[in-house]
Amino acid sequence: MHRIIWFKVGGRRLHLLKLAGAFIILAAIMKVAEAAYWIFVTVEKIGYATVRPEAIPQLFGWSMGAPYFFSNEDILGVLLGPVAAFLFWLAVVVVGLMVYQSGKVIFPIEEYEQRVSEYHRELIRRAVSAHKKRK
């Protein structure tokens, strides 16, 4: 048995899961855009830090002592956070799409009951056909 959850607003019926999915998708797309923006900002900071190493404490809030030059490991370490946030929010968009596309809520208990009732129908059908053969 499947259930569809409806929500009534202003005389119109809305599919509650689709509404929640739409909000999740909208918010997650905004966060994806923000995470992409922070990737570009971080790349610009890296470019500036490689040209002017004395600006590293102001740009990233950490310093290894003078003279310090930005290495490839530093670039990788600085980019990990924004890229991870970008990928996380992309995954949330996918989850939002899954929620939006789901037309029904399936409760496992009811699905179990449905399978059991199908099994019982098959048993009854077999019993009836066996009873007809005896006659």
pLDDT at 124: 84
pLDDT at 1: 43
pLDDT at 37: 98
Name the strand (E) or helix (H) holding 91.
helix 72-101
pLDDT by residue for the chain (135 residues), tens only, comes to 456 666 666 666 667 778 888 999 999 999 999 999 999 999 999 999 888 888 888 888 876 666 677 788 889 999 999 999 999 999 999 999 988 887 655 555 544 555 667 777 788 888 888 877 776
- What CA–CA distance (Å, rounded) separates 63 from 53? 10
pLDDT at 26: 97
pLDDT at 74: 87
Provide Rg for the chain, Cα atoms: 29
The burial of 57, by beta-carbon neighbours within 10 Å (0-12 exposed, 13-18 middle, 19 or more buried), is given as middle
pLDDT at 135: 66
